[in-house]
Amino acid sequence: MGASEDKVKQAFGPRRGDFLAYEDKGVSFAIDGKDGTVTEICIFLPTRKEMESLPEYDPDSGGVLDLRGRDLSELDLRHCAEDLMYTEFDSRTNWSASDKMSSDFDPQKVMEVGKNPGLGVRSLHKEGITGRGVRIAILDQPLLVDHQEYADRLRLYEEVDTEYEQ
């Protein structure tokens, strides 16, 4: 709220009608006509888009096939296991019936595996280490401590075992 219309356009794209509406992303913004600031944000479930065919995955694209919120119920996906391994989907993706699905791809299993935070986080939680009281903890590669996005909010920075053997 209070962001400028230009900032919203920069993040989401051009205006359509009285609202900045982005159906594919499930969000729209009401803009104050006087000063051009956001006065209302509406979040909704985007409409499911029925697909006529599953695009083939292109390994040179560097991306994935976006199936989030798509309706695949009419597609025969029995021979698409390889392409399905490179998809991004969500709980709103409407899959084909089991007799039209590849036996090598189970979207429910993929969703369950995706819920595992990894890095032994579940065992840390069992020990009572939850991060409660920590605003943000980053366990990753060395940080750029002078980065403009977070340098002024960094309270503690410690590098551990940063020398890599090759």
- Band (pLDDT 50/70/90 cuts) for residue 96 is very high
- Model confidence pLDDT, tens digit, residues 35-66: 777 777 777 655 566 778 888 788 887 778 88
Q: Tell me: do 74 and 21 sit in the same domain.
A: no
**CB 31 within 8 Å of CB 41:** no
Q: Tell me: do 76 and 106 sit in the same domain.
A: yes
Residue 162 lies in a domain: no
Residue 143 lies in a domain: no
Q: Tell me: do 54 and 110 sit in the same domain.
A: yes
Q: Tell me: do 103 and 76 sit in the same domain.
A: yes
Residue 160 lies in a domain: no
pLDDT at res. 61: 75
Residue 155 lies in a domain: no
Tally of domains within the chain: 2
Q: Tell me: do 53 and 86 sit in the same domain.
A: yes
Q: Tell me: do 62 and 28 sit in the same domain.
A: no
Q: Tell me: do 53 and 39 sit in the same domain.
A: no
Structural domain range at position 76: 49-114
Residue 82 lies in a domain: yes
Residue 26 lies in a domain: yes
Contacts of 28 (CB under 8 A, 6+ apart): 19, 20, 21, 22, 41, 42, 44
Q: Tell me: do 27 and 61 sit in the same domain.
A: no
Q: Tell me: do 105 and 56 sit in the same domain.
A: yes
Residues paired with residue 37 on neighbouring β-strands, in sequence order: 4
pLDDT at res. 166: 45
Does residue 20 have a pLDDT over 60?
yes
CA–CA separation, 105 vs 86, rounded Å?
11
- Model confidence pLDDT, tens digit, residues 117-136: 888 999 999 999 988 877 77
CA–CA separation, 80 vs 74, rounded Å?
14
Determine if the pTM surpasses 0.75. Answer: no
